[in-house]
Structure 1
């Protein structure tokens, strides 16, 4: 039986994926990449290790071992899949293609974006329940409030406050507060979208020029109409779901599996999507020369 556990930093971007954007540290051992703070584009951005990047505090705060086991089932297969991509043979083994597809879906669900959707949905449901109970059972609520508190509640505001108290004592609200509801939701969502994506192909795309960067909401749904790319729509409404997996490779789910190249303009559009879809940070290879691009895109994002 799961119990609430104290947790700390949980990586939303797999460290094995962040490692693709690193170079050997100039001093000491290890490898480093460049995080870029989109809220403070003018600051001095310092190189950091993968351990210090791409994480969230207490992302799955209840029984996190259950979710980590689910993610681990995918992540243990990723190094071999990335090696096949680098070797130019991602489709030689069907298991590699499945791993790359799972990697995209993992980062689609294990994200700031999904947590925001979950929280908003819960709050909308709670607000709707309050309104529904007040509209349909006002007299029952007044009698129950009088029995429990000895107070005569007359106005809508006082009834609403009482209903909020009732909801807060419910098992669903307690599970939401502890994080149990989110952990169950995110695991179910991963299994659902993983099944939905199982018939999609995997495109492995390489820039003709330039490099990809990766945001902290890295797996993004997109629709492309001519030279216009929009992002962030529901999974079922998207033309593709993209995930950068290194400076020189990006995965895109599509009708069929293929390896291809993408022109500089397309690279810029997809990097721009990463910036605008990010919660706060994008990450890049230290020698990518993408800081100016990220700074311009961050200012455009701030103006929207």
Structure 2
């Protein structure tokens, strides 16, 4: 039986977003407070987790296999979150594996990864076209005559026909349908999961204040700059950080620890969430100070302020 394609696909797991909610008295269900980092002055109403952190047809081709892969992690999250709240995240190795997998899931299933994938494909497509023209001009002319009956002479005509061949290729067709992206993101999840298994897990709590979470929530960081550099390749990062509740952050590190961090370090982590966000950050509805912090940070640091489409992270930092 063919499974229906899911249109609105959550990039931020609802099970994670629900950790940041407060049940409203009018029975609307758990709500979070969003802040639009592109329009930080704009007032945003409280929203349900279902209405937040999703993308239209993120995996556009036969998404069921990807959804099964994501759910294999997400269905284990509630028990792991309970252990975090109880202060015993390392009591069961399965909890550690689940929390580490949550970091990987949100690192890969992200606006950031889709942008990296799209940019990489476009770069390769241009490179292939140029190499075909440079290395095989005569076979290209013969194929052009076979297909069109035209004798191509100038280099511009050769490039145009090479582009036509690239567009006709199975790889380009799979790119257009989304089949290539689905294969790529599933492969990348398994690849990064294997890499992350060599790291340990840090569970961090701020001395005071709360974490917020962005719609690109798992972020690679380097801590030797201020503000921290972010969105570099995972092999170049000091850590990958993921807020999972207003009072808990997961980070890949060199040993398994539960620790408390000072307020200024929490502010650095929240700043990275604002900078790395595609469009929104989310927080507990009662976090008025945190809302003001997010708006102030977006006004100060976001180069895409006032635009409905954020500047690419490539213009803000090194990307993987």
Measured against the shorter chain, the TM-score band is over 0.9
Corresponding residue of 1:274:
273
Please, what is the CA RMSD of the aligned residues?
A: 1.6
Distance 1:7 1:300 in 2: 37
Report how far residue 165 of structure 1 moved.
1.1
Distance 2:228 2:193 in 1: 24
Report how far residue 142 of structure 1 moved.
1.3
Report how far residue 8 of structure 1 moved.
1.2
For the 8 Å contact 2:5–2:64, the answer to whether it is kept is: no
For the 8 Å contact 2:5–2:63, the answer to whether it is kept is: no
Corresponding residue of 2:214:
215
Matched, 1:252 2:251: yes
Matched, 1:295 2:289: no
Distance 1:157 1:190, change over 3 A: same
For the 8 Å contact 1:221–1:232, the answer to whether it is kept is: yes
Matched, 1:110 2:109: yes
Matched, 1:264 2:263: yes
TM-score, structure 2 length as denominator?
Answer: 0.91
TM-score, structure 1 length as denominator?
Answer: 0.96
Report how far residue 151 of structure 1 moved.
1.7
Corresponding residue of 2:122:
123
Report how far residue 7 of structure 1 moved.
3.6
The worse-fitting range, judged by mean Cα deviation, of 178-187 and 152-161 is 152-161
Q: Secondary structure at the match of 1:242?
A: strand
Report how far residue 227 of structure 1 moved.
5.9
For the 8 Å contact 1:13–1:216, the answer to whether it is kept is: yes
Corresponding residue of 2:181:
182
For the 8 Å contact 2:204–2:250, the answer to whether it is kept is: yes
Equivalenced residue count is 303
Distance 1:42 1:246 in 2: 25
Corresponding residue of 1:229:
228
Distance 1:41 1:15 in 2: 24
Distance 1:6 1:160, change over 3 A: farther
The worse-fitting range, judged by mean Cα deviation, of 89-98 and 6-15 is 6-15
Cα deviation code 1:89-113 (max 9, x no counterpart):
1001111011100010000000000
Distance 2:57 2:156 in 1: 34
For the 8 Å contact 1:2–1:63, the answer to whether it is kept is: no
* Residue ranges of structure 1 left out of the alignment (5+ in a row): none
Report how far residue 226 of structure 1 moved.
7.2
Cα deviation code 1:248-296 (max 9, x no counterpart):
0000010001000111101110000001111111011111121211111
Q: Secondary structure at the match of 1:33?
A: strand
Matches within 5 A, 1:122-201: 122-201=121-200
Report how far residue 139 of structure 1 moved.
1.6
* Residue ranges of structure 2 left out of the alignment (5+ in a row): 304-315
Distance 2:301 2:148 in 1: 50
For the 8 Å contact 1:2–1:62, the answer to whether it is kept is: no
Q: Secondary structure at the match of 2:216?
A: coil
